Homo-oligomer: A and B are copies of this chain.
């Protein structure tokens, strides 16, 4: 059993129309708000008008156009607005990209230099501006954690930022995800599953969080196809939204060895170079990484996954169950419409060496602590296996 800290100060406010409670939740935080969002979907869905009507009389400044794989330039703009107008809190409405960008802005609010510095060196993060979130996509778990992922196009870098940036409260209304299209629902499902795999498939686990992880995986595998088939199915959308919050918050890691999150590390390289959807990259990488990590020593972990998540026969041969579990994972991603090869999304091997070098330099974890220890060549081999 590894030592751990578990600290989850965000209040999750989950259910239909809980957005109506926002003014009460924010009332002691001031009335100068920076509303951050992505494209026009929050206008089409009515959330934008709802917020305007909930905050009549407040001063609302806006930063829209925050892109998927959010760029440091957007964050710089946000920080400028915050500093210029003395913003009291950020109201972030969107999925992981808007939330992640808002976290970097919250940290940048009290920092004198360029907000990218805070991505490169978390020790520079001091006081942060309060953030409230309204979630519109079940995927990254940013609504319930203290981290984000920011892209710097100038340097081809997509890097995590960690710090005192937990949202004060996150409104999670599954209805807001009814309009999420099938491909994004699927990519979100792959992201939740990948967060879980990065915690689950480590060398030292424990009974409690093995079970928590398996419950996460069963939840996504059961509900993602339903949500794709029936976008307005509240129960399915709700189960996915609930699961998304636990993927990245630390709960799934407690008492376990913390792995270097291999697929996340490599995916950040892919999307830094090619700006692909995070969940798509993960869905391609995950089964290849699993297969690459499978050996006599690691097989029992994959076999248990197969037994406890896919209901494989517990009396069958361990290696056979392990192989089946990996095949079923790949088949599931395919079933929900995700690509299974990098070549399908126009990526070739031209930057693989650069990616392997870069991820080893900047990533938070050492790949020698992965389920199967990985060196530079292993990382390249995994990327090649995805072609």
Contacts and interface: CB of A to CB of B under 8 A. Distances in A.
A254 B14 contact: yes
A208 B219 contact: yes
Contacts of A215: 207-212, 214-215
B12 A6 contact: yes
Interface in A231-245: 234-235, 238-239, 242-243
Contacts of A255: 14, 238-239, 242
A15 to B, nearest CB: 3
Contacts of A239: 1, 206-208, 255
A12 B1 contact: no
A4 interface: yes
Given A6-B14, A12-B6, A14-B3, A207 B234 contact: no
A275 to B, nearest CB: 32
B3 A16 contact: yes
Nearest to A211: B215
Nearest to A311: B314
A368 interface: no
Interface string A342-365: 000000000000000000000000
B5 A11 contact: yes
Interface string A254-277: 110000000000000000000000
A239 B4 CA distance: 13
Copies in the complex: 2
Given A208-B215, A255-B238, A255-B242, A12 B4 contact: yes
A9 interface: yes
A12 B18 contact: no
Nearest to A9: B9
A7 interface: yes
B212 A211 contact: yes
A13 interface: yes
A248 interface: no
Interface string A36-47: 000000000000
Contacts of A16: 3
A16 B2 CA distance: 9
A222 B207 contact: yes
Given A5-B13, A12-B5, A242-B254, A219 B234 contact: no
B1 A234 contact: yes
B235 A1 contact: yes
Could you say which of A1, A212, A223 has the most chain B C-beta atoms within 10 Å of its C-beta? A1
Interface string A311-347: 1001000000000000000000000000000000000
Interface in A1-37: 1-9, 11-16, 18
A1 B223 contact: no
Nearest to A236: B1
Contacts of A18: 3
Could you say which of A13, A215, A222, A223 has the most chain B C-beta atoms within 10 Å of its C-beta? A215
A208 B216 contact: yes
Contacts of A3: 14-16, 18
A338 to B, nearest CB: 21
A174 interface: yes
A218 interface: yes
Contacts of A238: 1, 206, 255
Contacts of A4: 12, 14-15
A165 to B, nearest CB: 16
Interface of A: 1-9, 11-16, 18, 174, 206-212, 214-216, 218-219, 222-223, 234-235, 238-239, 242-243, 246, 251, 254-255, 311, 314
4 A-B pairs with least C-beta separation: A211-B215, A3-B15, A1-B238, A6-B12
